[in-house]
Structure 1
Amino acid sequence: MNITGMSEQWVTVRIQQKGDSKCIPWKSLRDLVLVHPDVKKRVDVFALGIYGLVVFPKALGHIDEAVSDLFDRLSKGITPVPAILAETFRSLNACRKTGEGRFIGCSQLLLAWFHSHFWKVEKVSYRVFSDSYSPLEELVATPRRDDISEERWMEILQNLQDEDIEWRAPWLIPDEILYRCGNFDWVPLLGIWRAIGYAPLLVSRQYRSRQFIPATQGLAYCDFSYREDNYKKKVREVSNA
């Protein structure tokens, strides 16, 4: 109601249950983009569609209730970056643990991260980093390459060496990094549908220097859901590990 400016009745009749989530069909929002008398509302509804269908996809052709809740808070200064990071980690971790599956998230943002950090793929530097460099602008201006097959991407990623990865991004060095939440060194990073264990001291080291090879034992157990039983115990176990 806040985002669309429509009545409670209009919203209620369009809400649908998809799995364990309440969603609204994109078709209903698309019609608003075309006919809504308030131009600002048209833009807001269109932006909500991008968030629900591209950045945080869950049910095909529908916008999840949790996504609309996050989007409604953006005007209050809430940043979506931690949620994007958490959902990317959650989705990739789920695929890795099962050995199969499909990445659910914004593949365009993930590709931008690849291009800006895997700077020596094919042993040719993508771009000399500078304070004014924007990986998103470069990615948008670069013609899409269809000549790299899935097998080639797998070969590139499996054969990456530590000297091929540049974690430090001069245009995105934070002044302050959250490194503790209460007594926990592993800070829960809140996402849309769950949280993941976030190691801020590790991130701080990666931001300010070249990547070092971290120990990966136990990473499969670093994600958890607040809806599961004994989630606080899992947080303590991750922190102790």
Structure 2
Amino acid sequence: MENEFLSKVEDNAAVRAWSEKLQSERGDSLAEGHISELQDFTRVNVVQNELQELRDICASWDEGIKQLFYQSYGDISYLLDVRVDQHLFRALVQFWNSAYKCFTFGEVDLVPTIEEYTTLLRCPKIQVRKTYARVFSSQIFVKKLMSISGMSEPWVTARIQQKGDSKCIPWENLRDLILTHPDERKRVDIFTLSIYGLIIFSKALRHVDEVVIDLFERLEKESHWYQQYWQKRSDL
């Protein structure tokens, strides 16, 4: 920003005015006659995924599967027991600034950091200076889901659904795999994928989005790398 904005914190109106003025002067993105809108309030539907089935599955595991899960993916299962206060959430969301994609409290802007996400996902090797964006094709999505689930291409293809602008797989199909898959490792992987898709990066109710599957496929490789590393350490 210009020097006048560097020495103090400005409110959203001042930042927006500065941004629009600069964009208009440089022809960045605002066309002549464009009217920018910053909503006074953000309305949100607080309906969320029902997680009891995931809790029941986790509770039914024996100690061996639980250890495999914790060694691979850490303690993210605690998210299953986090209770969302809907009244608090409705109050909080009024401070969501949709224009700048952050929470604004008075003169303070807050947004989750890359470091917070990498800690939560136990993936410290993410390149924080690169934006994560990817264009998908149906075939890529199918292959990644086949790799994670261990299921055949016809099985995966038959269960993919279109939700809005993206493809998803229903939670019911993942749940059935967690309960019946003969490979214990796959059951753990699919369970963790469900946590990512239904809690951390939830988009469509009771569905796991293709972007989550792409991200998980990368993180899953990281977890295997850590397992191999610690196994080698223990063998020394």
Verify same fold: TM over 0.5.
no
More helix by share: 2
Which has the bigger relative contact order, CA under 8 A and spacing at least 6?
Answer: 2
Quickly name the TM-score band, shorter chain normalised: 0.3 to 0.5
Name the larger-Rg structure. 2
